[in-house]
Structure 1
Amino acid sequence: MSTRRQWLARAGGAAAGLAAWPAFAQSASPARASLAALQAHLRFLASPLLEGRETGSRGFDIAAAYVASHFARLGLQPLGAEGSFAQPVLLKTAKLASTPPVLRLWRGATAETLTYLDDFSTRPDLAATHSEVTAPLVFAGFGIRAPAFGLDDYAGLDVKGRIVVVLSGRPLQLPSEEGAHYASRLTKAALAAELGAVGMISLATPRSERVSPFHLARQYAGSTAMDWRDADGQGGQDNLPLRGWASLSLQRAPALLAALGRDYRQLVADAEAGRPVPRGELGLTAEMARDSLHGDTRSANVVGLLPGRHPERRHEVLLLTAHLDHLGRKSGPQGEVIYPGAMDNALGMATLLETATQLAQAPGGLDRSILIAALTGEEQGQLGSSMLAAQPPLPAAQLMAAVNIDMPILLHDFNEVVALGGDHSTLGATVARVAGDMGLKMAADPQPEQARFTRSDQYSFVRRGIPAVILGPGVGSFNPQEDGAALMRDFRRLRYHQPGDDLGQPFHAAAMQRYAQLHIGLMQALATQAEAPRWLPGDFFGELFRRGR
């Protein structure tokens, strides 16, 4: 093929990629947010041309350049390196080697070798290229110590030098957001390491299997783990001193607890209900080993400042964030497949860009400044937000609150708002007021088992003592013929983190406008109200992560 014909073929493919158009449900509902702008941003960011915007990839860099160009057009002040909008994020990477990981269980002199991806899964080790550990197993319930809620799964247990076995999830009596904190892998692993454990095995439960089916481990088996580093090679968050980690399937989990003499499903049900369950030594020793290949790459957050105009309040800075990355390309039975990430999070980024546009054009400006950031590495464990929170381009004491936008599932004409994190600070009251002015009701988290409060970028700022909130649609609808719960459930079951999260979904146009308008109104309110956002007195997260501790 001639050079000219090759160029024409590429150009034709590009045109075909740009021609793809989301299946929008049309509505004449008025809104200040521009539907045309939202659609245009979504169409570009979820285009196959960006190849899924994986952190460290060319597709992500193109998306970042697109966002930076819009920041420049809006007149935002660049807060990145050397006068740019790019805050460099250096990344250490790790992939499992071709040698399969080992998990072998010993009962006395009898050994049973479990099969990788059939019986267990594990992660690459960012700390060592070869990690192994052999130690006795001890069961510690959910592996949670929560004094404020009267829970201590480690009471009376000595886990020093042991591999801790824990149930996935949490007792159901824990409130949604506090429960999400205690149920997270990092929280459980950090506590186990603090108590002297050398490894951890997490057991799937019927509930965790519904939220995150074990078979998806095959989809992520070849994925690259990442953690950020500063210029001196320091920093990051995935540096726990556990030499072994694994997750067991629901089919294999009961065998580990056989020594307890309890039916596994009943034991899990008792633990979830807060009833006592047996804990302690399991009469088993586990041998765990894995080899990892290390490397490095780089990416960037895109950060700009919309300066406030009040002589004093302009030093009180609000954060508006959304993650720009997604999963990139993966190999499957039909070859390499692109994961476009339209809902997650091209739509969230489109909302951020339109919100930034309206805020920048607000007559008379805003009192407080707003740091606006398109974040990298969320799908790798909130890496970009973790670095931004640890090394902000402005004095950390000036950061008052964070509003994060991540994967709004906008498939129905929602009439209620879920504000995760809102109950912990004055942010909640402001969200309720803005939503009420729009005729929207406030609703509780309809899916607390998803633990979304700790699984998205706002939590990086919470961990630095900054109040934060993430807004999503509730299941209620202005259209009585719509089942919002079913639509959202089907998205999570069929398209979340799948190639089908693409532009072919029936995005609801009125919901897109309304969701963007909600953020425009919220940021305007936060930037102009007399009092800066703050934690509520005695709040769990405000005390746990209090600044200056």
Structure 2
Amino acid sequence: MFSNNKMRVGFSALSFLAVAACADTGSVEKTAADRAESFSASRIEADVRFLADDTLKGRDTGSEGYRISANYVAAEFAQLGLKPAGENGGYFQEVPFKTAKLDVESAAMSVTVNGEEKTLTAGDDFYMSGDVNVPSGDVSGDLVFVGYGIHAPDLGHDDLTGVDLEGKIAVLIGGAPTSFNSEIRAHHGSSTTKKKELARRGVVGTLVVSTLAGEKRRPFSRLKKYLGSESFDWVAPEGTDDGTPRITASAAISHDVARMLFEGADMSFDDVLAEAEEGTPKAMPLMTSASIKRDSILSDTFHSPNVLAVLEGSDPELKNEYVVMSAHLDHIGVSEHAKGDDKINNGALDNASGVAVMMEVARAYVRSGERPRRSILFAAVVAEEKGLLGAEYFAKFPTVAKEQMVANVNVDMPILLYDFADVVAFGADRSSLGPVTAEAVGSIGVALSPDPMPEEGIFTRSDHYRFVQQGIPSVFLVTGWGPSVDGKDGGAIFREFLGKTYHRPHDSLDQEINYQAGAKFAYVNWLILNEVANADERPRWNAGDFFGRTFGGLGVDASEAR
């Protein structure tokens, strides 16, 4: 690890290089080779070494270490001469957060089976968590089983139409059928998606039970240790509540409790689970009822910023449109119970490397003296590790006109441990960003590979997805799993990182980070960003694409789909 003195020397060197480069805007790079060489491995290394130093204590949202990292990025944006795009003429969009913990002592649930009321035990029979935006709920009602609780008639799956749900508590199976495309399954399997639709139909509470495979993978008994744990969420600005109905009390239940709730029903719970394996459990009323009570213990509001800056476009008209480049600046902080002496999760590759790549793209524009036709908005966002919260806040409450954000290029956790020869571009095949991405990577001899882990639904699991949910076409690149230029097995290295390093203290500067691969990755992202920023037309969703249809209109131009 670098000492504080060495860290200061690295920062000073970085500042000198950037200032010197900015002063030399008279020579504009013209060839691809010249451009590639202008992306500096040493500058990326300097950024990563600062952001992943122990001094910042893992950059946890709301922490002093995160604030220092945000100041560092804002200072670099200012030094480059980028326009502030935050609030009040500055670089920060201060995101208001609260934390919520379940008040375990007051949490209560009872069920009535065959006329007999039975009191259940938190942790053993049911599990709840606190909620920032819906802190309390106290509901009672008859139970209705609703299968997976999914309304997706366009996919030939509808658990809800024709089911009387007004005033009811819905019992549902977690997740979504495995027959769904993995990315679509992630959307429909989300509790947020389900609760929104169920609340619209009058449901007052939900009880969620896992599938056979889910129970085997993550037994219900493991949840008990998380009772009373802290959850994060942003707090909506005043006057932005649209009055959408919300479910106020929800719980996960054990398989044993579920069996009890199905007593007297047309099918047993075990038969329903078997049907769920085929993806076709049928909705039906249950002969039981329940009461659920939940209260949350809320923290005071605190703030942690997104860092936002704009490189203004050169076209008099198109400069009012923005291509957003995002990278999350936060990590998970300190793990007091981590094995060994090192408790700090430095997040060198998750995502100091991604922020460094984004900053190097900004420098490349400033050094060249060239401005694309559209403006580029650089966004170092907070609270990705808490549930993509900083990106969600910005996408919902942007500091520029939402309809003028035409695309998002996201950088998250590039595994810079090998000289990659291929990349995976999540989301590229869903919009006109696909051909742009293919041409960009191909122009420098990098292959475009398919998703190597489709079962993980990665498309919905990084910050770009919050832009997708606002109807904005997005692409998210990661280093590929194929054989690397330097003869390494990229897939094996990536898998080992996920299994042994991801979200652990080992994601530190002790790794053999290939900063030259970082420079190449910055160039690849610049190529995509630059093509979108200079194109005559803004990106379009592919006709009929699920996410374009769900969030951006029925396969039409994104500008018509807000």
TM-score bracket, shorter-length normalisation: 0.7 to 0.9
Aligned equivalents of 1:519, 1:278: Cα separation in 2: 46
Q: Aligned residue for 1:222?
A: 229
Deviation at 1:337, TM superposition (A): 4.2
Which residue identity does 2:234 align to in structure 1? Answer: D
Which residue identity does 1:430 align to in structure 2? Answer: V
Deviation at 1:79, TM superposition (A): 1.5
Q: Aligned residue for 1:386?
A: 392
Aligned equivalents of 2:4, 2:410: Cα separation in 1: 32
Aligned equivalents of 1:87, 1:97: Cα separation in 2: 31
The answer to whether the 8 A contact 1:200-1:244 is kept is yes
What CA deviation, in whole Å up to 9, does each residue of 1:55-83 have, x standing for no partner? 22212111110110110111100122232
Q: Aligned residue for 1:375?
A: 381
Aligned equivalents of 1:337, 1:110: Cα separation in 2: 47
1:537 to 520, 524, 543: 543
3-state SS in 2 of match to 1:158: coil
Which residue identity does 2:250 align to in structure 1? Answer: W
Deviation at 1:429, TM superposition (A): 0.9
Q: Aligned residue for 1:315?
A: 320
Q: Aligned residue for 2:189?
A: 183
What CA deviation, in whole Å up to 9, does each residue of 1:498-523 have, x standing for no partner? 44433344444454333222112211
The answer to whether the 8 A contact 1:411-1:508 is kept is yes
3-state SS in 1 of match to 2:462: coil
Q: Aligned residue for 1:270?
A: 278
1:421 to 399, 417, 427: 427
Aligned equivalents of 2:128, 2:195: Cα separation in 1: 14
Which residue identity does 1:471 align to in structure 2? Answer: L
3-state SS in 2 of match to 1:469: strand
What CA deviation, in whole Å up to 9, does each residue of 1:196-224 have, x standing for no partner? 11122333346557987864784695223
The answer to whether the 8 A contact 1:377-1:384 is kept is yes
Q: Aligned residue for 1:3?
A: none
Cα distance, 1:480–1:89 mapped onto 2, change above 3 Å: closer
Cα distance, 1:406–1:371 mapped onto 2, change above 3 Å: same
1:332 to 328, 337, 347: 337
Cα distance, 1:422–1:13 mapped onto 2, change above 3 Å: closer
2:285 to 278, 281, 284: 281
The answer to whether the 8 A contact 2:325-2:358 is kept is yes
Cα distance, 1:222–1:431 mapped onto 2, change above 3 Å: same
Deviation at 1:248, TM superposition (A): 4.4
Deviation at 1:49, TM superposition (A): 1.7
Q: Percent identity?
A: 36
Instruction: Flag structure 1 segments of 5+ consecutive residues without an equivalent.
Output: 1-11, 21-29
1:440 aligns with 2:440: no
The answer to whether the 8 A contact 2:104-2:227 is kept is no
Cα distance, 1:435–1:129 mapped onto 2, change above 3 Å: closer
Deviation at 1:293, TM superposition (A): 1.5
Instruction: Flag structure 2 segments of 5+ consecutive residues without an equivalent.
Output: 11-35, 554-559
Measured on the aligned residues, the alpha-carbon RMSD in Å equals: 3.4
3-state SS in 1 of match to 2:532: helix
The answer to whether the 8 A contact 2:262-2:287 is kept is no
Cα distance, 1:217–1:183 mapped onto 2, change above 3 Å: farther
Aligned equivalents of 2:352, 2:85: Cα separation in 1: 23
Aligned equivalents of 2:261, 2:9: Cα separation in 1: 53
Cα distance, 1:392–1:517 mapped onto 2, change above 3 Å: same
What CA deviation, in whole Å up to 9, does each residue of 1:504-544 have, x standing for no partner? 44444454333222112211222223332222234333333
What CA deviation, in whole Å up to 9, does each residue of 1:104-146 have, x standing for no partner? 4442315262442x65543212245542323333322222111
The answer to whether the 8 A contact 2:200-2:245 is kept is no
Bigger mean CA deviation after superposition, 105-114 or 221-230: 105-114
Which residue identity does 2:326 align to in structure 1? Answer: T
Aligned equivalents of 1:202, 1:156: Cα separation in 2: 21
Q: Aligned residue for 1:173?
A: 179
The answer to whether the 8 A contact 1:321-1:372 is kept is yes
Deviation at 1:437, TM superposition (A): 1.5
Aligned equivalents of 1:121, 1:339: Cα separation in 2: 28
Cα distance, 1:286–1:448 mapped onto 2, change above 3 Å: farther
The answer to whether the 8 A contact 2:101-2:230 is kept is yes
Aligned equivalents of 2:519, 2:503: Cα separation in 1: 24
1:399 to 402, 405, 408: 405
1:466 to 472, 497, 501: 472
1:161 to 159, 163, 167: 167
Aligned equivalents of 1:229, 1:112: Cα separation in 2: 36
Bigger mean CA deviation after superposition, 335-344 or 386-395: 335-344
Cα distance, 1:505–1:98 mapped onto 2, change above 3 Å: farther
Deviation at 1:152, TM superposition (A): 0.6
Which residue identity does 2:305 align to in structure 1? Answer: A
1:301 to 293, 303, 306: 306
Q: Aligned residue for 1:134?
A: 140
Bigger mean CA deviation after superposition, 206-215 or 134-143: 206-215
